[in-house]
């Protein structure tokens, strides 16, 4: 015989499955519905709160720095982030406007700061992504993609060579590999190299030791900084940065990786240098790497019987640092670059970098 039922909601009910189910559904449905409604409302309120906070962060403007240099640093940081969000067509158009040299075999651009050449983790946009678009802008919608002939680091600006045909790209790559391409870089260093000209011949070790040789010459200097021209004889990864920092004890301004032997930390600058730059040490981490691929000299190739000198002006932030640090650029172009190439470089610096 079944036990008597109870009208008390919290008392367990014995009886047939059908009756138990009926009673359970009658008792539990209101509570489940209330709990679900409460959970839905809580989740909805939480989502609305998170959306409101996110929107507030987007609209909230950071405090405007009072120093002109700090404003330029803030602009540079914002510009670098924007490079990863810009539409590929926009980036390709900007690169096309700043072309330094173009012929039937090659296209030469002035690579902007903060833009990687190849893709990788965390990279949304790189130069190789926009080469098909750039080719179509220059040669029509049926044009084949341009090809990379070499690479520069993300933080390095300056001369970058592209080729129309894969075979020409391979030929130029072979010239780089066999060290037939003369390369000149400009950099601003913290402290002044001693002696003012010489050769650094120190192996660079990553997974194994690689022979690395760099010629250097001080073009202008003060007590605490210098404009230095570098001519790498070899092409080891980060060779110039390592040689200047650990070989000459004069790290590149804005090199936050190789400025300290023992740790990876923002570059430490003297009070005098910080004062000239108008920065506090806490803001030094925003200083960009001041390393610029100034010139490439390609030997005769294919139908071209003469060597080709390609010159790019540094970006505006580089020139402004020179001015702040009382450093002078050479009065004349000592590299023999043509006037048209320099004009194109100046336009590129204005369009693609702060």
Residues shown for the chain? 354
State the Cα–Cα distance between residues 53 and 31, nearest whole angstrom: 33
State the Cα–Cα distance between residues 247 and 214, nearest whole angstrom: 10
Mean pLDDT, the chain, whole residue set: 81
Supply the residues annotated as catalytic: 153
Domains and CATH numbers, the chain: 69-322 (3.30.2350.10)
- List, for residues 64-96, the tens digit of each pLDDT value: 666 666 676 666 666 666 555 678 888 899 899
State the Cα–Cα distance between residues 230 and 242, nearest whole angstrom: 13
Token pair 């023999």 in the structure block, residue: 336
Global pTM?
0.72
- List, for residues 4-52, the tens digit of each pLDDT value: 444 444 333 333 444 444 433 444 444 445 444 555 567 777 777 777 7
Helix (H, G, I), strand (E, B) or coil at 341: helix
pLDDT attached to residue 205: 87
Helix (H, G, I), strand (E, B) or coil at 136: helix
The residues of the chain scoring below 50 in pLDDT are 1, 3-32, 34-36, 333-354
Tokens of 278: 């108008």
pLDDT attached to residue 263: 80
State the Cα–Cα distance between residues 128 and 150, nearest whole angstrom: 11
């Amino acid at each position: 015989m079944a036990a008597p039922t109870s009208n008390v909601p919290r008392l367990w009910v014995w009886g047939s499955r059908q009756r138990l189910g009926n009673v359970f559904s009658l008792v539990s449905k209101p509570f489940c519905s209330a709990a679900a409604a409460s959970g839905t409302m809580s989740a909805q309120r939480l989502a609305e709160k998170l959306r409101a906070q996110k929107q507030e962060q987007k609209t909230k403007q950071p405090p405007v720095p009072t120093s002109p240099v700090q404003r330029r640093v803030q602009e540079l940081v914002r510009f670098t982030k924007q490079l990863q969000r810009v539409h590929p067509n926009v980036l390709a158009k900007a690169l096309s406007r700043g072309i330094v040299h173009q012929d039937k075999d090659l296209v030469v651009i002035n690579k902007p700061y903060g833009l990687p050449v190849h893709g990788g983790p965390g990279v949304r946009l790189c130069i190789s992504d926009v080469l098909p678009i750039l080719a179509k802008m220059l040669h029509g919608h049926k044009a084949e993609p341009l090809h990379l002939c070499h690479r520069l680091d993300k933080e390095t600006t300056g001369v970058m060579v592209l080729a129309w045909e894969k075979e020409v790209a391979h030929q130029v790559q072979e010239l780089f590999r066999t060290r037939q391409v003369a390369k000149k870089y400009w950099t601003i260093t913290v402290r002044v190299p001693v002696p003012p000209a010489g050769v650094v011949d120190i192996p660079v070790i990553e997974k194994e030791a690689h022979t690395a040789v760099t010629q250097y010459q001080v073009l202008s200097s003060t007590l605490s900084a210098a404009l230095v021209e570098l001519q790498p004889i070899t092409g080891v990864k980060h060779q110039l940065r390592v040689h200047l920092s650990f070989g000459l004890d004069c790290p590149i301004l804005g090199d936050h990786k190789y400025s300290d032997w023992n740790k990876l930390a923002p570059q430490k600058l003297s009070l005098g240098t910080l004062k000239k730059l108008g920065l506090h040490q806490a803001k030094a981490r925003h200083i960009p790497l001041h390393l610029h691929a100034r010139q490439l000299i390609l030997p005769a190739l294919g139908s071209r019987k003469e060597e080709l000198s390609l010159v790019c002006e540094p970006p505006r932030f580089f020139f402004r640092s020179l001015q702040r640090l009382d450093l002078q650029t050479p009065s004349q172009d000592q590299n023999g670059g043509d006037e048209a190439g320099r004009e194109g470089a100046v336009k590129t610096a204005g369009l693609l970098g702060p």
